[in-house]
Amino acid sequence: MHKYRQLRTALYFIIIIVSIVGLSILSTRIWGGKPEQPQKRNVLIIEKGMTINQFGEANALPNTVLKEVFNLKGQPDLGRTLDEYGSPEQITSMVTKKLALASEHASKNWIKIPVKFGLWFIYLASIFVLLKKRNITSGVRRALLFTAILIFGVVLGSDPNPMGTIKDAIYLYGTAHVIFPPRMVALSIFLLIVFFANKYICAWGCQAGALQELIFRINQTDEQKAAVGRKITLPFALTNSVRCAFFCVFIFVTFTWGIDIIGPIDPFKIYKPTQLGLIGGIFIGSLLVASLFIYRPWCHLFCPFGLVGWLVEKASLVKISVNYETCIACQKCATACPSTVMNAILKRDKTTIPDCFACYSCREVCPTGSICFSSRKRTFPPSDHFNKGKKDKGNV
């Protein structure tokens, strides 16, 4: 039986990865291969005494761009010299910002984005209803995760995604000192979802997060043990320290050298495999293998949105809580939890509560229905609650 489970897990893993890569390549071709990354900008050519028209021709800039950058009123203004608009550094800054925003706008598929957000709202609202009705079981969970991967990843592609709203915003500001307004709107929407229900978009709607979770789930037995290898639960102090350090390094490298260190290893590129290089392929492959044993390794160790979302999660309106009046301190919820968060929520013996992805494993195994996903305020257990639970077990 054990060998059968191992073979089944390995087969499922291979089928999932091969299917995602193959179908994502097909999906990219159907969408027409529209770029989802802004084009790299070349160094501008600026010479003393150069007119605006000469500057445009030397740098292949259309008149529409020149008109907006230099606020030109008509064709004769193209003959004005660049010296009238400031130093070469000032002109470079003006043009770079305009080109950066134009490149960002051109890189987006403005048909796909509203469709994706509309489907996100429908999908997340449906899951919210299921959570409130306590209808999330292991089978339903896997089906929902697969649906998220298929719709928001394979069919609709890697962009937009929660992580990109933060990563790309920082990179754009670090290299061009501009903010792309549509991205800020998307980020605000994602964070509002987190504020409404803890890590809700990460838990169920994020295409990279859903893939990691599905892989982790296919390697679980009914006893919450790993079918292949063993489950590795990393302490939150370690994972969050790594995540904070990685975020700081990303910001430092971006603002110092203008390099996006996340881009080459971006796990969302599994849905755009033609853009993956050797390093990215090796990293993402290793990440997905690690997901068999570690719960959401990218989310806990590297994701910028995961870090910011964890901070916003502290104020979430709807979250997992425990009713200690009916709780019998069996701690099955903490055992079933794929991370350390349910133990922290249950016992409240730590000041810091780790990321909770509202997977509902805790509610699924609770024998008294004491776990709920609601706006109920989290309370502290009675001082002797868990000692009493141990005594009750001994008397059974």
| Mean of pLDDT over the chain | 90
pLDDT at 396: 41
Dihedral, 12, 14, 19, 24 alpha carbons, nearest 10: 130
Mean pLDDT of 311-337: 93
Q: Are residues 372 and 321 in contact, defined by beta-carbon separation less than 8 angstroms?
A: yes
Which residues have a Cβ under 8 Å from the Cβ of 347 and sit 6 or more positions away? Answer: 334, 381, 386
**Rounded distance between C-alpha atoms, residue 334 and residue 28, angstroms:** 41
Instruction: Give the SS3 label for residue 320.
Output: strand
- The pLDDT of residue 36: 61
Show Cβ contacts of residue 247 under 8 Å, excluding neighbours closer than 6 positions.
304, 307
pLDDT tens string 364-378: 899 999 998 889 889
**pLDDT per residue as tens digits for the range 6-54:** 899 999 999 999 999 999 999 988 887 555 666 666 788 888 888 989 9
Q: Rounded CA gap, 27 and 34, in Å? A: 11
> CB–CB of 332/367 below 8 Å?
yes
Residue 223 has pLDDT above 80, yes or no: no
Q: What is the pLDDT of residue 106?
A: 84
For the beta carbon of residue 167, count every other beta carbon within 10 angstroms. 23
pLDDT tens digit string along 145-180?
999 999 999 999 999 999 999 999 999 999 999 999
CB 24 within 8 A of CB 272: yes
Query: Can the peptide bond before residue 160 be classed as cis, meaning omega within 30 degrees of 0?
Result: yes
How far is it, in rounded angstroms, from Cα 150 to Cα 245?
32
Q: Which long-range contacts (CB under 8 A, 24 or more apart) does 24-33 make?
A: 24/153, 24/154, 24/157, 24/270, 24/271, 24/272, 24/273, 25/273, 25/274, 27/154, 27/155, 27/157, 27/271, 28/157, 28/272, 28/274, 31/109, 31/112, 31/157
List, in order of start, the domains of the chain with CATH numbers: 2-36+109-311 (no CATH), 52-106 (no CATH), 318-395 (3.30.70.20)
User: What is the model's pLDDT at position 35?
Assistant: 57
Characterize the bridge pairing of strands 371-374 and 319-322: antiparallel
Q: Does the pLDDT value for residue 329 go beyond 90?
A: yes
The per-residue pLDDT for 394 is 47
Please name which of 344, 361, 362 lies closest in space to residue 353, comparing C-alpha atoms.
344
Whether the predicted model's global pTM rises above the 0.85 cut? yes
Residue predicted with more confidence, 389 or 258:
258
**How many degrees, rounded to 5, is the angle at CA 248 between CA 244 and CA 253?**
150
Give me the amino acid identity at 100. Answer: A
AA identity, residue 210: A
Place of tokens 């002109």: 91
